[in-house]
Structure 1
């Protein structure tokens, strides 16, 4: 028996709540039917203390003898008449184990319904006709707005290795009855804050949390790191760099009223039974350790969890951290400079100390360079012999890296390195000692010179 290839296009008005089906080949047909009846997926009324499950039966008729797959995706987000969306975590789906006759069911664990195609079923190798059940769950604790919502789901059946396909659209409706409202907004936009290593206290550096129409339930609001900020190479920001605190005149209890290091784990920010309230969560970069962080832009996410008597709402917000490049040197000279007064041939050696501070967050190794600009001379222009003018270094405050002179050696002419950083180019604190040792042939007097310091990359 042979089958004719019949091309058909069936369009049913969406206003009537029916499907719009486009079938590329009559030999591979897809049908989608809510088990509760009707042509639409209707969740009904969902409040924040409940979840609603609805089942949809998927049927595939095929006589092509070719293995095929079934996909689903959200093509129109659930929106109310104000343009507000339910939130991506509100609608979830899974396939009902054992509801098929052959083939393989995917999506066996509850996953959120998204805009990308989700593989839900793969037929047997022979492409036998089959049917299975998808279960959709509307999670009341994930609803982010109230009202009547409409969305649309697209189902596609597609033979493996073929461009032909059959598609079905399913209209879905939900009524959210939650009067309790909570909002989390950022200074740099509704979903983001921006932190800069050169600025503190800017309006872009805090989130505002507000709620209203609470009937007297116990409210707890938490924070946790959803994704630690990282750069384009996935290098994470030093977590100890991020500080936060709660601010504002509130009716409830603020749990973090002073600057505290942020934690990956869930942290209680606020608790109350107030009808409405507003508070801010401010953030800043710790100025004490900012120079230890490599420069760059880092993007991450912070999650706010609102717990109302065990019913949770979650808000994921973005955090952008910009650490400006630093490559600086500071030199502290003794009050008299590099000078050695009142020297006689039989005088004891004199030592002068210079401290050098380097701040760098470039993440690249560098050198501290020294340049003795002029020879040691006295008031009459007499030159001190170089071999009696020596140098050595010392690492301070746990500085890493390597000294060029661990013991006193004669100071060479010109520009020379006196310190080599570690491979990470970490900041450093180095002390340099200059020793002048009188000798019999020297001319008496006070001797001085000029020394310059600079930084160079290795």
Structure 2
């Protein structure tokens, strides 16, 4: 610095343009560092004898003597390359401003262009089966319910490190609905040195260590296999979230982002009714005779729904119990009653009533439209003046949203 104004001055440094490549990769500001070599100034005070990161602020790097003497000093710049750094040419700009103190003289600014050639020897690459940055999972599918993410460590790092994963928020649908982290599970397998998570583990909203290298940080690779829960336990829809992969332990105190992968989870709609008569595919009453005790026939009902809406189950009796000659058993002798099976919704026929021709609502779900189960118990007693024989009817069960 040359000055003849006989006034104290200071030198302020500011980062005008961070180091970056033409394709947009930028070295984080905390990885571009500077320090001053003690004793290279003859007068004044050098404020950067301890290394610090060059940020977007305007730190004072030097203050002159009271008389504003001309001076020189040496600054040393260095790079700490992050794990996801790319080989290439980097450029940036730094401004140095000489500001007079207690003087009307105008500041003077000099711009320094910075160029750096970077060749990355050690790196971590994260890829999917398709070679993209996207993982697709489909709940309940024979193919597509799992997907692999491969993490390759090249070159080695010379010391132990860990790789962690962390989702950026819950899987969320286009309508704002969410599914829990635990709907996704993962497990790793390794082809090199180091320890990978080797048991099926639910995803968490917190950082999870998925790999710890050997003490020497050797090169290698490992695979993380992600699976999705059964569709009937999740509300139907398409959900998205971003998974961040972080590096810990390479000469820095904070986690460093390696890369991110977009996850898409497709949960198909399920709205199924399963009927399980105790005698197979029929509700049967065998060898019913007048004056004998009533016969019972039980039907187990299982409803699977993930639509997230309230629904009801109805019964439609097509005709009365009738034999081939057209004799009809009065409905008061053919009854129905519902029985709880840890049922969440509302049973509409908790007590015995006649089975009448036509439609009847048997069950209404809870407000969440949860999957549910219960039992139907049919009972038949033949009147005294009726003859033995085969009597039949048809019953249709159906589900509908409310």
- TM-score between both structures, scaled by the size of structure 2: 0.72
C-alpha distance after superposition, 1:103-157 (max 9, x if no partner): xxxxxxx9x99xxxxxx9xxxxxxxxxxx6699x97744653233313689xxxx
- Give the structure 2 partner of residue 258 of structure 1: 199
Partners of 1:174 and 1:351 in 2: CA distance: 87
Partners of 1:319 and 1:149 in 2: CA distance: 32
Structure 2: runs of 5+ lacking an equivalent: 1-10, 32-52, 62-77, 95-110
- Give the structure 2 partner of residue 147 of structure 1: 88
Counterpart among 256, 263, 281 of residue 224 in structure 2? 281
Q: 1:378 to 1:275 in 2, by over 3 A?
A: same
- Give the structure 1 partner of residue 187 of structure 2: 245
Partners of 2:158 and 2:93 in 1: CA distance: 36
Conservation of the 8 A alpha-carbon contact between 1:339 and 1:447: no
Q: 1:174 to 1:392 in 2, by over 3 A?
A: farther
- The alpha-carbon deviation at position 294 of structure 1 amounts to 0.9
1:48-63 aligned at under 5 Å gives the runs 55-56=14-15
SS in 2 for 1:199: coil
Matched, 1:302 2:253: no
1:111-260 aligned at under 5 Å gives the runs 140-141=81-82, 143-150=84-91, 173-176=115-118, 178-199=120-141, 202=144, 205-254=147-196, 256-260=197-201
Partners of 1:373 and 1:185 in 2: CA distance: 59
Counterpart among 428, 432, 435 of residue 372 in structure 2? 428
- The alpha-carbon deviation at position 418 of structure 1 amounts to 0.8
SS in 2 for 1:447: coil
SS in 1 for 2:209: strand
Structure 1: runs of 5+ lacking an equivalent: 1-33, 37-54, 58-73, 94-109, 114-119, 121-131, 154-168
1:29-48 aligned at under 5 Å gives the runs 35=12
Conservation of the 8 A alpha-carbon contact between 2:146 and 2:228: no
Partners of 1:400 and 1:172 in 2: CA distance: 68
- Give the structure 2 partner of residue 413 of structure 1: 357
Partners of 2:60 and 2:386 in 1: CA distance: 98
Q: 1:243 to 1:56 in 2, by over 3 A?
A: closer
C-alpha distance after superposition, 1:309-363 (max 9, x if no partner): 4544322221111111111212112336222122222110111111122211111
1:103-118 aligned at under 5 Å gives the runs none
- Give the structure 1 partner of residue 392 of structure 2: 448
- The alpha-carbon deviation at position 199 of structure 1 amounts to 2.9
Partners of 1:133 and 1:392 in 2: CA distance: 82
C-alpha distance after superposition, 1:382-404 (max 9, x if no partner): 211101211121232x3321111
Conservation of the 8 A alpha-carbon contact between 1:200 and 1:284: no
Conservation of the 8 A alpha-carbon contact between 1:78 and 1:152: no
- The alpha-carbon deviation at position 407 of structure 1 amounts to 0.9
Partners of 1:171 and 1:300 in 2: CA distance: 40
- The alpha-carbon deviation at position 186 of structure 1 amounts to 2.3
Matched, 1:91 2:29: yes
How many aligned positions are there?
334
Q: 1:202 to 1:231 in 2, by over 3 A?
A: closer
Conservation of the 8 A alpha-carbon contact between 2:84 and 2:123: no
- Give the structure 2 partner of residue 270 of structure 1: 211
Partners of 1:300 and 1:152 in 2: CA distance: 36
C-alpha distance after superposition, 1:247-270 (max 9, x if no partner): 24333222x223221122222212
Q: 1:200 to 1:174 in 2, by over 3 A?
A: farther
Of Structure 1 and Structure 2, the greater strand share is in 1
- Give the structure 1 partner of residue 303 of structure 2: 358
RMSD: 3.5
Partners of 1:319 and 1:379 in 2: CA distance: 61
* Structure of higher CA gyration radius: 2
Conservation of the 8 A alpha-carbon contact between 2:138 and 2:144: no
SS in 2 for 1:417: strand
Partners of 1:275 and 1:380 in 2: CA distance: 87
- TM-score between both structures, scaled by the size of structure 1: 0.64
- Give the structure 2 partner of residue 404 of structure 1: 348
Partners of 2:145 and 2:222 in 1: CA distance: 14
